[in-house]
A and B are shown apart, each in its own frame.
Chain A
Amino acid sequence: MSTFKLKARGAYPGIAQGRAVVCPDSIAGNSGALGDTDGIIYEKGNVNYGVCIKDAILVVPCAKGSNGFSAHFKGAQIAGVRPAGWVSTRMDARLGVAVASMGIPAVADFAADENPVEKIKTGDWVVIDGTTGEVTITPKE
């Protein structure tokens, strides 16, 4: 499958790229679900349990769980294990704070037939332009 593009709203400007980590049920914001200092997903039942978010493009439908969501990602950023950028089906308040606080590129609010959680697979190489809202996906071989 060749490279393809998705387009949505640029939520935080800048260009970022990395391997996609797709979390169809998001990542819980509850204490302990994301390692504050190692950036590893410890949420029981998460399809990416044990995966480190460092340098990844996180692809989620939205945020979920505790309002501490942003704080755990911010902690990971300060510890040096932040993701490269965000792609979210829809923007919501929990995720919005994380994006604004971390100041890393983000694209959100996709059309119904361009749901990134369905179009992008874990391991795909993803380039996001948080200014134009363009997402370029090169599927994993």
Chain B
Amino acid sequence: MVHLTDYEKQMLDGQMGKFKQKAMQFIVRYAEVLGAEELCEVSRATLFIGAQHYLDCYPEDTDYKKIFSEFYLCSNEIVEFGKASSYCKTQTCAACCDLKEYERTHLSREFHERNRRYLEITKEMGVKIVDSCTPYYVGWVPMMGEHFVTTESSNVVISNTIFGACGNSDGVEAAVCAAITGRIPKWGMHVKENRYATCVFTLDFEVETQMEWDLLGFTLGRLLPKHEVPVIVNGLKNAEINRMRQLCASLSVTSAAEICHIVGLTPEAQTLEMALGGKKPKHEIRVTKKDMEESLAMLCDKGSGRIDFVSIGCPHISLDEIYEIALYVEGKKLPEGVELQIWTDYATKEMATVNGYAKLIEDTGAALLTGSCPIVMREDSHKHATAMVMFGAKQAFGIRHQTRVPVYYGEVFRCIDAAYNGRWEEGR
């Protein structure tokens, strides 16, 4: 039985309107499923909403009020739109398309306009259009101990691990209802005792480049026993937010991990003892180079060959990385028929434009795009490709659910080279 405060009971009783009542009914039902005993206040949220493809189950002309009521509020009764919690700072997560460039990404104008129409409705609720899966680059930064919800799995791991904030991988319906009520079950990562590491990873090698960090996250996720909390004790060189982003994103592809302590680097793991909470680990795993090679084989197809579709920016990349890419590609030209997509968020693209980086990239024939990625845009955006090159691991692995063409994966600048050469060369 979930214990509710008087405020929460009033919301559940409908005293704050049917919109909030329905959302609170879902939050309470979710708490009961989890076995949570109480709720906690949520002050930050990102929502994977808009005309996302999970809504393909509805005919295109379905009223969004019906969709919102049924899908997100889990209500058979159609309710009027209301407002999100004024205490919860809420914005959109990754979008199903770039807010402007629908033709360049092979999507229809109708789909693009439907997405915009949905986002305008939720904007009126108080959900800001940001369309980013790396919201920490543009100011969505929860403090240590702050409770958040996010529909981006890598952002769950980043926010728990680096910021010491508290959140679970709840899912879209819970995130929407949490943003409306300002409440989420106090369970899992919201409770300190569940955040201690239970599985110690020791590396037989060092990781240094962005791809190595990315590949390590994918590998740890494969090796992590189910339901355990990882801590890494050694082997990480050149730690910085962009590498951490890759590690956290790929870890959450192959596992259900929501936090990844790193001894001496992350706030709840200044020592191994601190990360473990004074307890003995349940598992101690040595990670070998062979484990990393097995991961690489899962992400990069064998052989060399012509390629015509390259995507960089999973998760969405930072201004620093756009700068480096702009300098690298300046003066080059993409071969006819080859696409190079580089994904970031709108705010970062605007900064890239102001600084001239966007022009350097676009002048080569590449596209600096915002808010989405091939996986989320789904098959319509990439079904014409005959061979693909993807960075990072989340994209290179996830796209395989949607395509049968060869998919290659490697260091960022190797992927970029492949675009300008129109070829992937094995082993280089």
Contacts and interface: CB of A to CB of B under 8 A. Distances in A.
Contact of B71 (A26, A69, A78, A93): A78
A34 to B, nearest CB: 9
B172 A71 contact: yes
Nearest to B71: A74
B207 interface: no
B256 A64 contact: yes
A19 B29 CA distance: 27
B188 interface: yes
Interface residues of B, number: 53
Interface in B253-309: 253-256, 258, 298
A98 B171 contact: yes
Contact of A91 (B33, B174, B226): B33
A9 B188 CA distance: 17
Contacts of B170: 67, 93-94, 96-97
Given A61-B226, A79-B57, A100-B33, 9 more contacts: A9-B35, A66-B153, A67-B48, A67-B171, A71-B71, A72-B54, A75-B55, A97-B170, A97-B171
Contacts of B29: 100, 103
Nearest to A74: B71
B92 interface: no
A73 to B, nearest CB: 9
Given A43-B401, A101-B74, A93 B171 contact: yes
A68 interface: yes
Give the dominant DSSP class at A's interface.
loop
Interface string A80-122: 0000000001111110111111010010010000000000000
B58 interface: yes
B318 interface: no
A124 interface: no
A101 B70 contact: no
A12 interface: yes
Nearest to B373: A31
A29 B401 CA distance: 11
A44 B33 CA distance: 29
Contacts of A50: none
